[in-house]
Each structure stands twice: as structure tokens, then as C-alpha cells.
Amino acid sequence: MTVKVSIIGATGYTGAELVRILHRHPEVELMALTTRSYAGLPLHKVYPHLYKYNQITCEEMNLAKIFDISDVVFVALPHGHAMPVALEAARRGKKMIDLGADFRFSDYQVYEKWYKVEHEARKLLGEAVYALPEVNRDEIKGAWLIANPGCYPTSAILALAPLLKQKFVDTGSIIVDSKSGVSGAGRGLSLGTHFCEVNDNFKAYNVATHRHTPEIEQGLGRIAGEDITITFTPHLLPITRGILSTVYAKLSVSAGAEEIREMYLDYYKDEFFVRVLPAGLLPQTKWVAGTNHCDISVTVDARTGRVIVISAIDNLVKGASGQAVQNMNIICGLPEDTALAGPGLYP
């Protein structure tokens, strides 16, 4: 089986990461790469690390051509730009995986409130599947329109899913404290990600206003079967890759760390990409760099009655492009770990 794939928005970090992963996929033929800024250039002129691994010349987006030659189209564009692509995919009966936020919300009003963009493809929201494989794999299998989760939501939802499924925590007490590497801000130039601003520095940003907040709440609420409101605070680390989330919640049952850890092991027992670490071992971003893994540890603070869950992912892989390929494998009936298995780089 050969899956013909194109990438719209191939010259951002997530687009380049898709190319890196897909080049080693034995069932994929990469057909086209689009860009706004580098049309006419081979991709390796933009990303020299791909020299000899990709010979495709970047081109302007032509939706008719893209869908003529593709079975699956990845869209790695800023929010607001995937809607016309999805409408064309629907007309053509093709599969689309959106790495942006345009189809992550079941309620378009939530999207419009947080992203300040009118949703022009509302009729497709009922067909889009929010695709976190470890949580809703069965829904993903039959989907044509995949809403790939955000990086912070992936780390937070995977950290909390077992506790919410078993109703072990007070859902009104959840605090998600996350730290991300600078690549999460994308490749565009901005003062906030300038080397002199980031190096030897550590800061919170978008406190109480980050756009991933409602996405996390929606994902957690679906697992818990109730509306959930959380406190979410993101921070910027002076590193390139990685997200580490520390999640706090008040226990609603009497349970120790080992009992909860066993619950996590059972919940994720068939999930290759989630690694529940042994007691006393706490996740580090370095351990998951370049991988599609999410590492998780669980601790109980008996003094306060709180459970503390720590998760770590690579924001560009499990938090974006790796998870997108994982979802492609699912909707195409391929082994889920194809092109994704393997440890990362260390140190």
C-alpha cells in the first residue's frame, strides 16, 4: 500500500518535521510541498539538514493540483487558514490532517472567542475528530478530517486521563503548569523568542489567556463526562524542544502513589507511545527529544491530599508532527508506530 501525501505549509518547523519523519515511512510517497515564502526552492535550501533526503521543490499552494495527486493532505498553517483546504477535501472525498486549531473545537463559538477568527467551515465541525489516539482511537479510525491536538493539550490530557476516567480527583481543583521550548513559537521572527531575550531566562506568558486552555478543558471534559474549568499557566524555557507539564489535583478518594501508578500502567498498558515511569523516576524533556513518546510519572502528596502528575513530550513530535503521522497511520489502516518507533537522541 502506498499513501500519496502532500504537505501544505511545509517550511515551518512542523512542516519540516513532517518531512523528516515521512521520508523514512515505507508506505508513503511524498508528492508536493507548498510554501508562501520559498516557492521555487528545493526544501533543502530552506532546511539543509534534509539535503539528500528530500529533492522536492517547494511550490505555491494550488488546491486543485494538490488534491488531484494526494490521498492525504497535511495542513501545517497558522489558525484560520485550514478552512478552505478542508472544504476542498470534503468536495474531493480526500483525507486531511490539520495541525492547527481550526477544527479542534466542537463549538465554533469557543473557537471564535479565543482565536478571534470567524469560522468559515462550521458545517464540517461535526465531521472533524479531535484525534488523541490514546484517548479516542476508535473515533479516529473512520475519520477523514483529523484535528491534530495542540502540544500543551497533549501533555495535559495524557497526564490526567486515567485519573478522570476513574473519577479519582476533584475536577474543580486542576492546575496545569507547563513549560515549553522555543520551537513551540514557530519559525517566524519575534522579539519574545530572540536569543538575547530567551537565553539565561525563564518566564511565564499568556497567563490566564492562553488559547490552549479551552482545548485542554474540552478534552478533559469529554473524558470526565462533565464540564471542566482549569487553571493553566504556560512558561517559556531557554531550550529548543520539549514540553514538561506538572499537573496538580485534589484527590477525591483515598489512594496512595503506588495504587495510582498501577492504575496508570493498566490504562496505558497497550499504548506504546506512553511510558509510565518507575516510581522515583521523573520525566525529563531530554529523554523524549526527537521521539513520539509521552513520559509520565505520578506522585501523591499525602500531606496536602494532592496528586502530582508530571509529563514530558517533544512539542514538535508527539506535540505536533509525530502525532499527525500516528493519526495518518490509523486512518490509513497502517501499523500505528510506522516511521515513529525508536528512542530519541541523548544527551
pLDDT value at residue 28: 98
Residue linked to cell 509521552: 294
pLDDT value at residue 132: 98
Residue ranges, comma separated, of all CATH 3.40.50.720 domains in the chain are 3-126
Rounded to the nearest 5°, which phi and psi values hold at 202?
Answer: -155, 125
- Catalytic option among 58, 151, 196, 294: 151
Contact 149, 131 (CB under 8 A): yes
pLDDT value at residue 189: 85
Q: pTM, whole model, 2 decimals?
A: 0.97
Contact 156, 313 (CB under 8 A): no
Please indicate whether residue 151 is annotated as part of the active site: yes
Query: In CATH, what class is 152-315?
Result: alpha beta
- pLDDT 10s per residue in the chain (347 long)? 899 999 999 999 999 999 999 999 999 999 999 999 999 999 999 999 999 999 999 999 999 999 999 999 999 999 999 999 999 999 999 999 999 999 999 999 999 999 999 999 999 999 999 999 999 999 999 999 999 999 999 999 999 999 999 999 999 999 999 999 999 999 988 999 999 999 999 999 999 999 999 999 999 999 999 999 999 999 999 999 999 999 999 999 999 999 999 999 999 999 999 999 999 999 999 999 999 999 999 999 999 999 999 999 999 999 999 999 999 999 999 999 999 999 999 99
* Rounded CA separation 273/89 (Å): 29
Could you please state the CATH topology (level 3) that the domain comprising 3-126 is classified under: Rossmann fold (3.40.50)
Residue ranges, comma separated, of all CATH 3.30.360.10 domains in the chain are 152-315
Q: Quick one: CA dihedral 39, 45, 46, 49, positive or negative?
A: positive
Omega of the bond leading into 347 within 30 degrees of 0 (cis): yes
pLDDT value at residue 1: 80
> Three-class SS of residue 160?
helix
